[in-house]
Chains A and B, each alone.
Chain A
Amino acid sequence: AQSVTQLDSQVPVFEEAPVELRCNYSSSVSVYLFWYVQYPNQGLQLLLKYLSGSTLVKGINGFEAEFNKSQTSFHLRKPSVHISDTAEYFCAVSRSGANNLFFGTGTRLTVIP
């Protein structure tokens, strides 16, 4: 079975500072990994995903994530955050052949002016 751990429930960061949101997964088989973002009072939308190939994945809004198989991690990074990045971020995992995703518990990113 797959599971996802998001190590930080809340991350405050000043505007224009870098940020890293951490995600670790557990699975004994090949996985697909995702980051979704949820802005206040909205549904989730996809930021980026790793299916195969290059371990550095670039997404929308300047975010990127690196797949590290040896550390079973898929951390999300942005070099300089904006106020508009304030949202909740969810890491999710699935495996080849499956139809469903398993989500982490979320990290609330708050960008401070």
Chain B
Amino acid sequence: NAGVTQTPKFQVLKTGQSMTLQCAQDMNHNSMYWYRQDPGMGLRLIYYSASEGTTDKGEVPNGYNVSRLNKREFSLRLESAAPSQTSVYFCASTDRAGAWREQYFGPGTRLTVT
């Protein structure tokens, strides 16, 4: 039981390049989330998926797209990377939608955009 896994662990992009961050969970959870973590700003929600087939914007969705590929997988895409997107990205999941649910986090992807 791996929990929440994220790939890659590290990535360096040039401005304007695109990439997809992958997230998968093996806990049969319904809801999944993408956050970014920046120094001095805590975690901010980018997008979330309350259930398979649905996605919603969080606090900071601009410059990102998401796909809930199936119940297990939730990917985050940067179409044209910018230096402001340099951050650590965390994926999380909960068994059901609802803010009171415990969120289970992956180990993160450290992205640098030059």
By the criterion of a CB under 8 Å from any partner CB, how many residues of chain B are at the interface?
A: 28
* CB neighbors of A among B82-101 (8 A): 90, 92, 97-100
CB distance from B112 to the nearest CB of A (A): 16
- How many A residues have CB within 8 A of the partner chain? 26
User: Is residue A46 contacting chain B, with contact meaning CB distance below 8 A?
Assistant: yes
In the complex, whether A73 has a CB less than 8 A from a CB of chain B is no
Docked CA distance A100–B44 (Å): 10
B8: chain A residues within 8 A (beta carbon): none
The answer to whether A100 and B100 touch across the interface, beta carbons within 8 angstroms, is no
Residues of chain B having any CB pair with chain A under 8 Å = 4, 31, 33, 35, 40-45, 48, 50, 56, 58-59, 90, 92, 97-100, 102-108
Chain A residues close to B by CB (< 8 Å): 4, 9, 32, 36, 41-46, 49, 51, 90, 94-106
